[in-house]
Every structure is written in C-alpha cells, then in structure tokens.
Amino acid sequence: MSRSEGNGAIVFAFFVAYLLAITTLPHLLEFLRPEWVALLVVYWVIAIPHRVGVIVAWFVGLFHDVLVGAVLGQHAMSLAILAYITFVLHMRIRVFPMWQQSLSVLLLVGVYLLSMLIIQRTVTLSHWTLWYWLPAVSSALVWPWIVLPLRWLRKQYGVN
C-alpha cells in the first residue's frame, strides 16, 4: 500500500467539516454549533496519528482562518495545540468507551476554545459570555455520530 492511499478520504472529510463550519444558522443556534474542524482533527489524530498530527492541524487551521476571515494563525495555533494534546493522549482515548471518549472530547474542545479565546483577547477586545463554551458541549454530544461514519470512511477507502 502506498502512503498516499486514503488521502482523498481525509481531504473529503475536512471539506465537509469546513462546509458545516461556515453554514449559516439562526443567531440563537450559532452558539450550539459543534466545532466540526476540531472534531475531525481529534478523530484523525486518534485514528492515524502517524499521518495526521500537529503539522497537518496547523495547515488545516490556516485554511480555516482564511475561510472564516479570522486572525491569521488563530485557528492554526489552537488546532496545533489540540492536535499535540490529542497525540499525547491518543493511546488512552482510543481504548475508552464511547461515553468516556465524549468526555475527553468535551475537555479537548474546551482547551481548543480556551486557546482561541486567549488569542482573540490578545489581538482584539472581545466580549464573551458563558455561552462561549456551548460548542464544547455540543461537540461532545455529536462525537458518537462523528466516529461511526468516519470509521466507515476509513475502512471503505483503506485509510491506514
């Protein structure tokens, strides 16, 4: 098998995550949007840490910054931190039952949001409320429904 086998599936998954990240929602539901790109970084780092890691997360984050018009490097730095922490813990998270994986995702996405907040507050004066942390909760809730189709995609296209 070549190393490039399955790269299309990974790129397709991130493309779908980008679409879900920029889809417009009513203002009240905007706070409930899961962090789709962060969820995919966590999944791919857990599933294939030898192929998706900090550097891939950095480039995924740079593209995300450009896509949403954020401060260049904001998502890149936060996703790189997320990928590093996930990589350090990936052998433990991999063997957890699904409910414990969801709790891990809650904490990982919480760290991602915290690093995003620190970068935002460093660059601009931004106001935030407790609603800011809701995407971590919704990300943890959708985690089981993310894992199953991505496992199928991985097996279908031989992503190793």
Q: State the pLDDT at residue 39.
A: 98
Q: Work out the average pLDDT over 23-44.
A: 93
Q: What is the pTM of this model?
A: 0.93
* pLDDT tens, residue by residue, 55-83: 999 999 999 999 999 889 999 999 999 99
- Residue 58, class by beta-carbon neighbours within 10 Å (0-12 exposed, 13-18 middle, 19+ buried)? middle
27 in Cβ contact with 4 (< 8 Å): no
Q: Quote the number of domains for the chain.
A: 1
Please check whether residue 146 lies inside any domain of the structure: yes
Please check whether residue 35 lies inside any domain of the structure: yes
* pLDDT tens, residue by residue, 71-123: 899 999 999 999 999 999 999 999 999 999 999 999 999 999 999 999 988 88
**Residue-level length of the chain:** 160
3: amino acid identity, one letter? R
**Degrees to nearest 5, angle at CA 110 with 109 and 115:** 95
Residue 75 is encoded by which pair of tokens?
Answer: 């998502």
Q: State the pLDDT at residue 106.
A: 98
Q: Work out the average pLDDT over 150-159.
A: 92
Please check whether residue 2 lies inside any domain of the structure: no
Please check whether residue 79 lies inside any domain of the structure: yes
* Domain carrying residue 85: 7-156
Q: Is the per-residue pLDDT at 159 higher than 80?
A: yes
91: amino acid identity, one letter? M
150 in Cβ contact with 47 (< 8 Å): yes
Q: State the pLDDT at residue 1.
A: 46
Q: State the pLDDT at residue 160.
A: 84
Q: Could you tell me which of 56, 110, 33, 112 has the C-alpha nearest to residue 47?
A: 56
Q: State the pLDDT at residue 30.
A: 87
Q: Is the per-residue pLDDT at 124 higher than 90?
A: no
Q: Could you tell me which of 135, 71, 73 has the C-alpha nearest to residue 108?
A: 135
Give the position of tokens 């809701």. 134
Q: Could you tell me which of 46, 118, 51, 40 has the C-alpha nearest to residue 79?
A: 40
Please check whether residue 130 lies inside any domain of the structure: yes
Between 126 and 132, the higher pLDDT residue: 132
Give, as one character, the DSSP assignment of residue 135.
Answer: H
Please check whether residue 1 lies inside any domain of the structure: no
CA atoms within 13 A on the CB side of 67: 18
Please check whether residue 67 lies inside any domain of the structure: yes
